[in-house]
Amino acid sequence: MSEAAAPLDILYQDKWLVAVHKPAGLLTHRTVLDRHETRFALQLVRDQIGQRVHLAHRLDRGTSGVLLFALDEACARDLGRQFETGLVRKRYLAVVRGHPPLAGEIDHPLSRQRDDYEWSGAESSQAAQPALTRFRRLDTVELPVQVDRYPASRYALMELEPLTGRRHQLRRHMKHLAHPIIGDATHGKGIHNRFFQQHFDSHRLLLACLEMSLQHPESGAPLALQAPLAPDFAALLPRLGWSWPHADQRPLAAGSQRGC
């Protein structure tokens, strides 16, 4: 059974919330653009726990990791407020092309891209919205293989924290930094994506949401949700000379600063 066809791993569940580990390749919800698809995280979680669920946020189809749902409308409203006001923090792991700086922030406005529910034929509006991403380089590798125009090819393992919540923000910001995420067919570079497919049997977007911190909508207590790195992603890292868990991991502090 493929990872996308298996029951979803439940990371956390109580009377108000349920968080699952969404695999890469699974849509979060039904979309106009993918009418042929029949499996969505929203429906799978609903059927798996036997009750209605409310989507708290979204992950791109290619992204794996923490996906959160509310179990009633009041909690859904509270989570919406937390996301809107920046109380929720998320941390991602990514593999990117090149060697970015050790750490920094990408402060680059992004044009608004429509949600699939409101799709009307246009890719995006012209108005740019503020967008901010914090990044930290965890590890690097230089492979003695000419993939592009250079005699060797460089890649980096990155920790990414979106401080705003724009659509496809991390993928678009890493492209803006000239270090696109490997496996990104829209914002990445095809020659490097094909190299990973052919030499590492990696056919996914190398982006995963590993941690989310928020305030529990019922008690107000800090809540940290964590997902393990998906097996296909984890298996790739030692082939690049990287260990996981990484020695330089640092946990997020729930509610201590802005998040997306």
Give the active site residues: 60
Question: What is the spatial distance between Cα 244 and Cα 215, in angstroms, rounded to a whole number?
Answer: 28
- Find out whether 137 and 143 touch, Cβ atoms under 8 Å: no
Q: Which residues contact 250 (CB under 8 A, 6 or more apart)?
A: none
Q: Which residues contact 190 (CB under 8 A, 6 or more apart)?
A: none
For residue 82, the surrounding DSSP H or E stretch is helix 73-85
In whole angstroms, how large is the CA radius of gyration of the chain?
18
Question: What is the spatial distance between Cα 4 and Cα 62, in angstroms, rounded to a whole number?
Answer: 11
Q: Which residues contact 48 (CB under 8 A, 6 or more apart)?
A: 7, 8, 10
